[in-house]
Amino acid sequence: MTDTTAQENSAARIAEPSLPAADPKDPYAMPALMPSSADRAVRSFDVSDHTVPTRKQEDFRYTPVERIAEFFEPFDASGATEVSVEPLSGDDLPDGVEISAVDKGDAPMGTVGLPADRIEAVEWNAVDDALLVRLHGDVSTPVLVSVHGVDDRLDALHLIIAADEGAHAAVVIDHTGTARLDECVEIIAGKNSRLSVTSLQQWDAGSKHVGGHRITVGEGAELRHNVVTLGGDIVRLRIDQDFAGPQAKSDMLGIYFVEPGQHLEHRTMIVHNQPQCTSRVIYKGALSGKGAHSAWVGNALILPDAPGTDSYELNRNLLLTRGAIADSEPNLEIENGNIVGAGHASSVGRFDDEQLFYLQSRGIPENVARRLVVHGFFSELVEQIGLPQIASALMASLDARLEGNAEAIKAADLKLVSQTEGESYADDPDAAAHGTESANEQSRQTEEN
């Protein structure tokens, strides 16, 4: 169906002369008579079905499209990006983890939704296969998928994380190095599974990362989805999620720290298409320096067939200096009145001088005071990630950015990766010497510096 006929159809529906009467006992039960955004949105694997993004399009109004134009036309993927899978701690992958390659066209590749924009369609066009991480049973240790970029040639990558029925597992995807990557992560949380997926973006300067996550959460399942974006010139991630059965729960959490010249954009699109599901989206970001730009767009669409929906989305931005810009836009589309809740909140605030003065008047030096306030801003969220292995290292990474010391940033980021090797990641300088390739790579770079 083309756009024109869709519009004609909806126009016809609205013009319907006899509107169905609402049941006075249940006035909200009737489906809305407005065309929903889902009816209009293009979903297709075919690049040519998607228009070339411009800033005039709603989905790209905050995006500096000219800086990611290379991802708008089909390209040959370099295939150079290094991907490895290992346990977050210990030597062997725990029981219940299966790693395999899936050819394009074979399930489950391409089964979770369809590309929602041209960038995602270009990714689909560029890849031949996907890396599948299949999880079943109780997986004792989080699984680390390291994605390491080695150069700035265009590349595409397709990952699938599939938790079987009743599985309980955590997966961390860690992006490091230099890359220009168009990536898709398909996430399937099977019936009654409990799945945690964390995506860390710690790219080196000059990197670009676009694409998105397509997620489905099964009946009675609980998904925790964490996104931490700290590095990369441009990171633009679109996260589309819907439900495959009732009484499921989706918790999405995002943390970003934007520095001069960076554009970090996150778009969460939750579609409530099943009864009695819960969704929470909480993204927080700090911005520092001229030209630091973040964009967060949170969409929640509650369809007529999703009674009992409980949804909430929140975005808070802390501008640490002048010259930084945060765009924040929550959208709610509710087509069912019989819901538990649908809320949103969004704010962009300047660093509070009164807080700074209060702390300073107690003898705390300005730089420490700033760090305390930013800690306070992020701490609750960092704890909620639910991975103690990541939490303290992440705080150190944020601290280092706050201090603005390039070497400290590098060292702290290294720790965030390297601490994945062992239980203890305290102050062990050798921690980086064994383990992931990416850790080795980074430690070399640190030494050169």
Residues that bind other proteins (CB under 8 A): 352-355, 357-366, 368-369, 372-373, 375-380
Looking at beta carbons only, is 322 or 362 nearer to other proteins?
Answer: 362
Residues 6+ apart with CB under 8 A from 61: 55
Show the tokens assigned to 319: 């501008």
234-243 and 263-272 strand pairing: parallel
- Least Å from the CB of residue 367 to other proteins: 10
- Least Å from the CB of residue 366 to other proteins: 7
- Least Å from the CB of residue 314 to other proteins: 14
Looking at beta carbons only, is 17 or 363 nearer to other proteins?
Answer: 363
- Least Å from the CB of residue 376 to other proteins: 3
- Least Å from the CB of residue 221 to other proteins: 31
Looking at beta carbons only, is 235 or 286 nearer to other proteins?
Answer: 286
CB 89 within 8 A of CB 109: no
SS3 389: helix
**Other C-beta atoms lying within 10 Å of the C-beta of residue 120:** 27
- Least Å from the CB of residue 402 to other proteins: 14
CA–CA distance, 157 with 83 (Å, rounded to integer): 9
Looking at beta carbons only, is 27 or 376 nearer to other proteins?
Answer: 376
Looking at beta carbons only, is 5 or 361 nearer to other proteins?
Answer: 361
Please name the residue that has the structure tokens 């079905």. 49
- Least Å from the CB of residue 310 to other proteins: 25
Residues 6+ apart with CB under 8 A from 412: 393, 396, 397, 399, 400
Looking at beta carbons only, is 85 or 364 nearer to other proteins?
Answer: 364
Beta bridge partners of 332: 300
Bond before 74 cis per omega within 30 degrees: no
CA–CA distance, 332 with 149 (Å, rounded to integer): 36
- Least Å from the CB of residue 362 to other proteins: 4
Please name the residue that has the structure tokens 């499921």. 248
CA–CA distance, 211 with 158 (Å, rounded to integer): 10
Looking at beta carbons only, is 28 or 358 nearer to other proteins?
Answer: 358
Looking at beta carbons only, is 163 or 255 nearer to other proteins?
Answer: 255
Residues 6+ apart with CB under 8 A from 146: 82, 83, 84, 85, 86, 174, 176, 417, 436, 437, 438
